[in-house]
Amino acid sequence: MAEIKTLLFATDFSKGSARACDLARSLADTCGASLTLLHVINEFSDRNARKVSAEVYEKLAAEIEKHAVEDMQEFRDRYFKDMPVTTAIAVGKSHEEIIRQAKKIGADLILMGTQGRAGIEKMLMGSTAERVVRSSPIPVLTVRE
């Protein structure tokens, strides 16, 4: 069995992520692994976003990042207060950034919560977890909400 020394826990601060916290803590403790919490801010891809001035766009992006930092601190304090963790916030396409960050830190495992989408919603929106599972060269463990 492969040794887990570095664990990346990707979170969107949802119920699914909160539920996966116990497993992330347990795995990190049991394996003696370092744990990194990652949140990805999705880039604006809507063509209308390009129509706003650069100043407005930058202010909005800064505000979103500020809230993400606050949410990450709250998430860390709530679920990982008594253990050493590293936090990271990235901007981009969630599935691509999760894999990129996992490679960057040399993660042996990616852990993430997943929501149980079905039907047309899944077909139209897809799933970040599914995209990570399909694309990642690093093993991925998903925890269903």
Is residue 9 over pLDDT 90?
Answer: yes
Q: Is the pLDDT of residue 51 over 90?
A: no
Helix H, strand E, coil C: the string for the chain is: CCCCCEEEEECCCCHHHHHHHHHHHHHHHHHCCEEEEEEEEECCCCHHHHHCCHHHHHHHHHHHHHHHHHHHHHHHHHHCCCCCCEEEEEEECHHHHHHHHHHHHCCCEEEEEECCCCHHHHHHHCCHHHHHHHHCCCCEEEEEC
pLDDT(80) > 80: yes
Query: Which one is predicted more confidently, 57 or 121?
Result: 57
Q: What is the pLDDT of residue 57?
A: 76
> Hey, where are the domains in the chain?
30-93, 109-145
Owner of token pair 């040399």: 106
pLDDT at 25: 94
- Tell me how far apart the alpha carbons of residues 81 and 50 are, in angstroms, rounded to a whole number: 39
Percentage of the chain modeled with pLDDT above 90: 62
pLDDT band at 50; cut points 50, 70, 90: low
Give pLDDT tens digits for 110-119: 999 887 555 5
pLDDT computed for residue 113 by the predictor = 87
Query: Which pTM was predicted?
Result: 0.86
Direct distance between the N- and C-terminal alpha carbons of the chain, in angstroms, rounded to an integer = 27
pLDDT in tens, 116-131: 555 555 544 458 888 9
pLDDT at 125: 45
